[in-house]
Amino acid sequence: MQFTEFQDLCRKRLSVHNFDNTSIDPKSIDQILACAHLSPSVGNTQPWRFHVVVKPETRTKILDACCYGNFILGSATFIVVTCDKSSQPQDGKILWNPREMEFSCAAALDHILLAATAMGLGSCCVSLHHGPVHELLSIPEAEQVIAGVMIGMPASPVASPSHERSPLGSVVKVHE
């Protein structure tokens, strides 16, 4: 892959809030999650867990209990990404900062978004930490909810106003 292709992919990704109900081949979701599973993780803990929510009734319950928007229902796939806090470093070393497992899951989240974009699909993260997702999906207590992700065919692939970025210079500081 050329760097410019990766640059284009990063530029193409944006948060999609409107999906057109088209279903997606489950194989595509497998491929996207296989990409996410290639993400870096502290001590190679691979702490991410992916809960793919298929049933419309379950999605409605999540929507009613945990979401501010009504966008989950139209997306072809809804995935809840969690961090299994019982994960252990492969090399048996101590994890000095267990929160780094959450950061690792954030990396997996980004792999999902970029992989979906590369497939021509729309995607968006959904904050879920404030809702009773554990009960709704019977998620084990050791798993911390990181976020939800919608994936589907975008009904309107237009960036929201909140897609704008501040100038790069305002977030980069070079230390000589």
Ligand X SMILES: Cc1cc2nc3c(=O)[nH]c(=O)nc-3n(C[C@H](O)[C@H](O)[C@H](O)COP(=O)(O)O)c2cc1C
Is the CB of 13 or the CB of 45 nearer to ligand X? 13
Backbone phi, then psi, for 73, in 5-degree steps? Answer: -60, -40
* Cα distance between residue 47 and residue 128, in whole Å: 18
Among 80, 118, 121, 124, which residue sits at the site for ligand X (rule: CB under 6 A)?
124
Counting contacts by CB under 6 A, is residue 127 touching ligand X? Answer: yes
Q: How far is the CB of 2 from ligand X (least distance, A)?
A: 23
Is the CB of 17 or the CB of 61 nearer to ligand X? 17
CB under 6 A: which stretch of 25-33, 91-99, 136-144, 156-164 binds ligand X?
156-164
One DSSP character per residue, 107-164 reads HHHHHHHHHHHHTT-EEEEE--TTS-HHHHHT--TTEEEEEEEEEE-BSS----GGG-
Residue ranges in contact with ligand X by CB under 6 A: 14-15, 17, 69, 124-127, 147, 159-160, 162-163
